[in-house]
Structure 1
Amino acid sequence: MHFTINGRAFEAEPDIRASLLDLLRNELGLMGTKKGCDHGQCGACTILVNGRRINACLTLAVMHQDDDIVTIEGLGAPDKLAPLQDAFVRHDAYQCGYCTPGQICSAVGLLSEVEAGWASHVSDDLAAPALSRAEIAERMSGNLCRCSAYPNIVDAIAEVAGVDGASVTEAEVVAA
């Protein structure tokens, strides 16, 4: 089977029961995407498939032949960080770092969703949703952080998105 991951072609014959996460980590050696709960509840395995964020643990690898797959390794390099990666570092939004790859991939997807005009549960205007700190918190609610760096994560995303205003508190993020 042919896979396009981070702009590179890969050939693999995964077990038909293997998740995309297992293909990435175990067969292709792309260790940036983390295995958290393996049940789609924590978001640590969030990647981008055809520009949309998904939990790699919940989808079969064989379903993604010829899709455009992007993992954290495809977003930047140690000597040239992507804007969200740089913002996460500057805002200390990575803490232990385990959830960070999924958080950053999810944030990339979030920004694309807003740019496409997709509303969320907290959007004030369904026709033209505007990104706010509450909107960021809602849209990131599928990604858990055991270190509780939520305010820093929202700050990093807000900076890259150009959202003004005071920092969101952890209680506001958890409540979203």
Structure 2
Amino acid sequence: MITLTVNGVTHRIGTDPTTPLLYVLRNELRLNGAKFGCGLGQCGACTVIVDDDPVFSCVVPISVLEGRSITTLEGLGTADQPGIVQKAFIEEQAAQCGYCIPGMIMRSEALLRRNRSPTDQEIRDWMQPNLCRCGTHMRIIKAIRRAAGEVAA
């Protein structure tokens, strides 16, 4: 058994320790915010935060996560009370198809935990590993700037 702490809740997981976190989140814990994109850690749709670091959950085995804090999209807020970054993405209409957006939000959250006032270049550099095929990059950057303004205030 592996003990995982996800969004502040402890779970005992009996799955094979080599199972990627993404599958445990979606199939066992029913947390569907993280999306399956490429399955190779190349697109970022599955991004979650582990101890304040953005992580591609499709390639991280649960065996290395015991004793660490995992935050998913669901841990940031709800539809009725979205978190600061979630709210900024909504207000800036940063989603087109929406598939990449959970990963983008999680990566943005990790950035703002480290840097409350990032420059546009720092935002671009930080967000580079996460892909958006719809081309909403400018709205995503605008949403991150809006969230940074809220966090810094």
Aligned match of 2:129 in 125, 138, 142? Answer: 142
Report the TM-score, using the length of structure 2 for normalisation: 0.92
- Alignment-derived partner of residue 107 in structure 2: 106
CA distance, structure 2, for counterparts of residue 41 and residue 5 of structure 1: 23
Equivalence map 1:1-176=2 (5 Å): 1-114=2-115, 131-162=118-149
Deviations 1:94-126 (A, max 9, x none): 1111111110000011112325xxxxxxxxxxx
Identity across the alignment (%): 40
SS in 1 for 2:10: strand
Other structure's SS at 2:103 match = helix
Q: List runs of 5+ in structure 1 lacking aligned partners.
A: 116-129, 164-176
Superimposed CA distance per residue, residues 114-151 of structure 1 (whole angstroms, 9 cap, x where no aligned partner): 25xxxxxxxxxxxxxx6211221111011111111100
* Post-superposition CA distance 1:36-81 (Å, at most 9, x none): 0011110111100111111111210111112110000000011101
**Based on CA coordinates, which of the two structures has the bigger radius of gyration?**
1
Aligned to 1:167: none
SS in 1 for 2:58: helix
User: Which consecutive residues of structure 2, in runs of 5 or more, have no partner in the other structure?
Assistant: none
Amino acid at match of 1:17: T
User: Structure 1 stretches (4+) deviating beyond 4 angstroms?
Assistant: none
Count matched residues: 149
Distance in structure 2 (CA, Å) of the matches to 1:109 and 1:138: 13
RMSD: 1.5
